[in-house]
Amino acid sequence: MNPSPHDSPLPALEAEVQVELDLVETNEAANATLEPITQWSFDPADIVREEVGLENLLGAVAALDGRPGNHPDGSR
């Protein structure tokens, strides 16, 4: 079934971002710092930055969706 042009893409975007966030959170990145720095395949700080970015995206989706408590002046 094709979505209507009037359907909001926000639920699909939110679901996709949540899947990515779950992957980041369940990643073995936390254990990488237990190894010597010369054996790291990535910088653990990059994982933290990615998680923060994904959390910000979820917040933006919530704000666009008009959920209570997400309006800057508190009116919603």
49: in domain: yes
Q: Is the pLDDT of residue 19 over 90?
A: yes
Asked if residue 72 is part of any domain, the answer here is no
CB 17 within 8 A of CB 61: yes
Residue 47 lies in a domain: yes
Please report the pLDDT score of residue 40 as a whole number: 79
- Domain-embedded: residue 51: yes
Q: How many domains are contained in the chain?
A: 1
With cut-offs at 50, 70 and 90, classify the pLDDT of residue 20: very high
pTM above 0.75, yes or no: no
In which domain, by residue range, is 58 found? 11-20+43-62
Q: Is residue 52, in this structure, part of any structural domain at all?
A: yes
- Residue 2: pLDDT over 70: no
58 assigned to some structural domain: yes
CA angle in degrees (0–180, nearest 5) for 61-62-65: 85
**Residue-wise DSSP of the chain:** -PPPTTS-SHHHHHHHHHHHHHHHHHSTHHHHTTS-GGG-SS-HHHHHHHHHHHHHHHHHHHHHTT-TT-STTS--
Q: Which two tokens stand for residue 53?
A: 């970015």
Give the pLDDT of residue 7: 75
pLDDT digits (tens, 9 = 90+) for 24-68: 888 766 566 677 888 877 788 888 899 999 999 999 998 888 866
Residue 28 belongs to some domain of the structure: no
